[in-house]
A and B are shown apart, each in its own frame.
Chain A
Amino acid sequence: MLRDAALSALVAFGLFGPMIGLKTEVGVAAIELIYRPIAVLIAVAAVFFGRLALLAWKSTRPVAKAAPGRIAGGMAYVGRYLTPIVLVLTITMPFYAERYWIDLGILVLTYVMLGWGLNIVVGLAGLLDLGYVAFYAVGAYSYALIAQNFGLGFWTCLPLAGILAAFWGVLLGFPVLRLRGDYLAIVTLAFGEIIRVVILNWASLTGGPNGMSGIPRPTLFGLVFNSGGGEGSFADFFGLEPSISHRVIFLFYVILGLALLTNWVSLRLRRLPLGRAWEALREDEIACRALGIDVTVTKLTAFAIGAAFAGFAGAFFATRQAFISPESFTFIESAIVLAIVVLGGLGSQLGVALAAIVMIGGGEMFRDFQEYRMLIFGGALVVVMVVRPRGFLSGRTPSVSLGTKRKIGADLMTEGHG
């Protein structure tokens, strides 16, 4: 055991020695090196003791693992009580929380919505989409462009943004959905990058790297939210003291509504033939084909519906920020949303919401350690895949039953043919 840990430490020294120990710094004349032996020592020691602890824990633990089905069952039990609590806490949030927390809540809810949207594609249909952020971008830019060029309001543009994103989903999905899973992942990634690069360089339309600003804010049945109040404003109509926090609260409920809509649609679809076909597709594509299911069309609908929700979220993002730029739509955003879906347990709605709260909310607390945050994201993806490849809250509830519905453990769910 000590030998193993010592070996790990040796490997760690090889890995970290040069990278951490010798930091290259752009000096006055040339590149200079900064020596950091202490940091290397700490990192190597961490690996040594970490490995030791892991081995010790493994040797004390009984070999037989707890049945995955039981974990899933336990989670379902917890979920039954947790869901309403989380929901109530969320809905009442503007009444007890400060502005900062509501802003954070809006951000988290945006990711919850994106996670639920992507969950349709990855969790239900089993299509690994690494370019999901492209549809988010399409939604955001659609809203910004339509609003600025045609003067339409947020509520008119919202469905348009979703439809446009879905349209792009179909357009991009049609040729590539025949590809095998891992090829599909790379192609969607490539598409995501293509869209971003085009936005970045088509400066006359999109403002290029400078982005677009002055995107109109949403209204409530024509009532505007502004800090000055005045004729036709929300504050004026209800006779309230004009306050910017009205808009924040309004935005909070808008995104909450959109997220819940996403949730409702995906839960509903799961129990309909379309959703069942998605899950069947995830389980075995060849069997689906043999049952006369048009595999391409079925995949395309998952892709398009997922894209539409990303489009809605994008439009919301644009109206909330009033400013968008290509920087918000990099691959790393796709990776974050994917991480949320994966950590939450592919296919689990509550899991996705909790993962978004932990990752976005938690990440936001450590904003000063931005790069460490991504380091931890990446590490978490690896660890979760290694420990519980199907995510934490995995397993599925049958969509229909004759008797009582019992949760199906993740161990039975196959994924891999075709």
Chain B
Amino acid sequence: MAYVLQQLINGLTLGMIYGLIAVGYTMVYGIIGMINFAHGDVFMVGAFLSLIALTLLSGLGVTSVPLALALTLVFAAGIAALYGWTVERVAYRPLRGSFRLAPLISAIGMSIVLQNFVQVSQGARVKPMPELLPGGIPLMNSDGFAVQLSWMQIVIVIVTLALLAAFTYLVTKTPLGRAMRACEQDQKMAGLLGIDTDRTISITFVIGAALAAVAGLMFLLYYGVIDFYIGFIAGVKAFTAAVLGGIGSLPGAVLGGLAIGLIETFWSAYFSVQYKDVAAFSILVLVLIFMPTGLLGRADVEKV
């Protein structure tokens, strides 16, 4: 029982991270209908930026953990947003209206570029980071197994929920959100009605990248190690989360993220750690085949 509870906590935390990345996939897919293959790598860049910022801050003598975290969050999100903007500007915008596979191939190219750029600039070695917030709240203790809710997990959950709340407000209640939803419905029409679609799409990428960078920070704090390759696997899993939740749906992305996080955690705990990635990939395949609209997605009627 205690073990299950602990896995539940761990799974939900991991799920929050996946959910944050998945939001970026689902937003971009909703608005321009393409899979932003490089999104996972933006997440990875965000994790590296966080590592750099944290190291820099500790070198500068900032000892207050909340302050360091807040500054890192802003820095990583800001620079990652710039990455997101650049990726869209360089690799996707010139290809709008091009043949179907072009943006996807370009996105794969961008993903390779980001991965190898980080490998070249930051080195291929795995980067460990000391635990920033050790300890936590012991919840219960049974049969010698202590269930713990770590401070880190609390921070992750709170920050994620706060960001998602802010983000939901942005999309549903502000003019920017309205413009985004309009572009999602019909880009051409939105353009005719005076919405700057290019700008709206850019902003979508910027927001998605910033959220991914936050996820990167969380990942760094939670696992304590990163390398230039984490974006690929995390990206595919987050994409799975987006598809599972129903691509295009924001609450769906978070829900899907939580589901993937839980499944992965329980799979690792009870079946096999080696095959945890297989579990996530298999879910992706199964969902796409049997439930292509996901949990909260709309059915797409094929126009003939």
The answer on direct contact between A and B (beta carbons under 8 Å) is: yes
Q: Using CB atoms and an 8 Å cutoff, list the residues of chain A in contact with chain B.
A: 11, 14-16, 18-20, 22-26, 30-33, 122, 126, 128, 130, 175-176, 178-179, 181-183, 185-187, 189-191, 193-194, 197-198, 200-201, 286, 331-332, 335, 338-339, 342, 371-372, 374-375, 377-382, 385-386, 389-390, 413-416, 418
B56 within 8 A of A: yes
Q: Is the CB of B105 within 8 A of A338?
A: yes
Q: Say yes or no: A198-B121 contact (C-beta < 8 A), given A24-B127, A31-B55.
A: no
Q: Is the CB of A386 within 8 A of B79?
A: no
Which 5 A-B pairs give the minimum distances between C-beta atoms? A381-B109, A378-B112, A378-B113, A385-B106, A190-B281
B124 within 8 A of A: yes
Known: A181-B101, A183-B243. 14 other contacts (CB 8 A): A15-B83, A24-B122, A24-B123, A31-B51, A126-B100, A183-B288, A185-B104, A194-B278, A197-B278, A198-B278, A332-B112, A378-B108, A413-B99, A415-B101
Report the Cα distance A373→B242, complex, angstroms: 32
Q: Is the CB of B91 within 8 A of A382?
A: yes
Report the Cα distance A382→B56, complex, angstroms: 33
Q: Using CB atoms and an 8 Å cutoff, list the residues of chain B in contact with chain A.
A: 34-35, 45, 48-49, 51-53, 55-56, 58-59, 75, 79, 82-83, 85-86, 90-91, 94-95, 98-106, 108-125, 127-130, 232, 236, 239, 243, 272, 274-275, 277-278, 281-282, 284-285, 288-289, 292, 302, 304
**Which of A19, A379, A381, A416 contacts B105 (CB under 8 A)?**
A381
The residue on A at minimum CB distance from B126 is: A26
Report the Cα distance A175→B286, complex, angstroms: 9
Q: Is the CB of B278 within 8 A of A25?
A: no
**Which of A18, A183, A200, A374 contacts B292 (CB under 8 A)?**
A183
Q: Is the CB of B118 within 8 A of A194?
A: no
Q: Is the CB of B49 within 8 A of A197?
A: no
Q: Is the CB of A128 within 8 A of B117?
A: no
B135 to chain A, nearest CB (A): 19
Could you say which of A183, A190, A414, A418 has the most chain B C-beta atoms within 10 Å of its C-beta?
A190
Q: Is the CB of A26 within 8 A of B288?
A: no
Report the Cα distance A372→B274, complex, angstroms: 31
**Which of A20, A24, A378 contacts B109 (CB under 8 A)?**
A378
A-B residue pairs in contact (CB < 8 Å), sample of 29 = A19-B49, A19-B52, A19-B118, A24-B48, A24-B122, A24-B123, A25-B123, A128-B104, A176-B289, A182-B34, A182-B104, A190-B236, A197-B277, A197-B278, A201-B272, A286-B304, A335-B112, A338-B108, A371-B116, A372-B116, A377-B109, A378-B108, A381-B108, A382-B106, A385-B95, A386-B90, A386-B94, A386-B106, A415-B101
The residue on B at minimum CB distance from A22 is: B52
Give the residues in chain B near A377, CB-CB below 8 Å.
109, 112
Give the residues in chain B near A25, CB-CB below 8 Å.
123
Give the residues in chain A near B58, CB-CB below 8 Å.
30
Report the Cα distance A182→B35, complex, angstroms: 7
Give the residues in chain B near A385, CB-CB below 8 Å.
91, 95, 98, 102-103, 105-106, 109
**Which of A33, A378, A386, A415 contacts B52 (CB under 8 A)?**
A33
A29 to chain B, nearest CB (A): 9
